[in-house]
Amino acid sequence: MPCTVVTGAFWGDEGKGKIISYLALKEPLDVCVRTGSVNAAHTICYQGKRYALHMVPGGFVYEKCRLLIGAGTNVHVAQFLKEVEETKVKDRIGIDSQASIIEEKHSMQDKSNAHLKSLGTTGWGVGPALEERVRRTAKLAKDSPDLEKYLTDVSEEVNKALDKGKNVLLEGTQGLMLSLFHGTYPYVTGRDTSASAICSEAGVGPTRVSNVLTVFKSFITRVGTGPLPGEITKEEATRRGWFETAAGTGRDRRSAPFDFELARKSAMINGATQGAVTKLDCVYPECKGSKTYSELSREAKKFIEEIEKQTRIPIVLIGTGPDALDLIDRR
């Protein structure tokens, strides 16, 4: 049962898009399912082009991969159609007919609600859309004429693919510390973001999962408000080369050094079997472009080994540059 779940360890921005695109190209992937919602963008750099995708799964880089959006997802129709054109995946992407729709009114409610703004929401309308779904009044993908040709039963497709031994990846969005249940409540998103929730939204039972890959960044960032242990100033982040802006919203990302206790907890709750570390070159510049573990500096190796010790999982992928293929693969 070659089913991999990819999760984020912290507050998002860990580089899941990079890891997913690499796996899609190297495995290669037969099916890639996106869960979550439009409020998080996955950044993918491939063949000289940079993509910030809110809806299309990162597995699109492999041209034979079937792309799916799960029933638990909130779909922003205009953004979905825009990304389908940008990535040229019209003939190989599907949306579960029971995925819910984010309407313009939801975005307006999100932006005008003082409480939601104080929590640092993105303004896409995800929270209000989820509220409607819980009240059983939300419109579903099957109610949108613009999505008619993309409709499918994602759980049926994915489980049949697994029955045939195909290679499937379930793509989570955001990070565990933004989970409605396990994160820094109330400064969290409107859903669970753990590996268990990813499976649920895609319609895949936990016994069908063969690998949970949790992605860590070599330093921690978050956008919006809420606690960030060890936070440094924007000026210090810039000096260290850690300052970033969010791919989807353009907001400044707040920065902090790597937190081993948070990494341990994230690996535990996600049931991680493997880990990936991205942007090692931002903390250890001498490692930029390295292709093998032996090329890494002694300090960088000690860092990786400490993550493995604290989380009790092997770090199998290490990012050393921005491109999808700038990775050390230890598998």
Q: What is the pLDDT at residue 318?
A: 98
* Cα-only R_g, the chain: 19
> Tens digit of pLDDT for each residue in 43-65?
888 888 889 899 999 999 999 99
pLDDT at 280 over 90: yes
List all residues 6 or more positions away from 113 whose beta carbon is below 8 Å from its beta carbon. 127, 128
Residue 114 confidence (pLDDT) above 70: no
Whole-model pTM? 0.93
> Distance between CA 162 and CA 167 in Å, rounded?
7
Domains for the chain: give ranges and CATH numbers.
3-329 (3.40.440.10)
Residue 131 pLDDT > 70, yes or no?
yes
- Pairing between β-strand 93-96 and β-strand 66-69 as defined by DSSP bridges: parallel
Contact 9, 179 (CB under 8 A): no
**What does pLDDT average to over the chain?**
93
pLDDT for residue 1 is more than 60: no
Residue 186, pLDDT > 60, answer yes
Residue 105 pLDDT more than 50? yes
Question: pLDDT tens digits for 243-261?
Answer: 988 665 677 899 999 999 9
Confidence class for position 9, pLDDT limits 50, 70, 90: very high
Measured CA to CA in angstroms, residue 81 lies from 75, 85, 126, 230 at distances of: 10, 6, 18, 40
Local confidence band at 183 (pLDDT 50, 70, 90 cut-offs): very high
pLDDT tens digits, one per residue of 72-90: 999 999 999 999 999 999 9
From 97, 80, 221, select the one nearest 156 (Cα to Cα). 97
| pLDDT score, position 42 | 87
187 and 122 in contact (C-beta within 8 Å)? no
Taking 80 as the threshold, does the pLDDT of residue 112 lie above it? no
- The two three-digit tokens of residue 29, written as one number: 């992937």
Helix (H) or strand (E) holding 300: helix 298-311
Give catalytic residue positions. Answer: 13, 42
What phi and psi, each to the nearest 5 degrees, are found at residue 142?
-70, -10
Cα separation of the two ends of the chain = 18
**Least confident stretch, 17-26, 149-158, 294-303, 310-319:** 17-26
Q: Name the residue among 74, 96, 196 with its Cα closest to residue 156.
A: 96
pLDDT at position 14, please?
94
Decide which of 70 and 27 is more confident.
Answer: 70
Range of lowest pLDDT (34-38, 153-157, 159-163, 322-326): 322-326
**DSSP at 93:** E
Q: In the predicted model, what is the mean pLDDT of residues 9-22?
A: 93
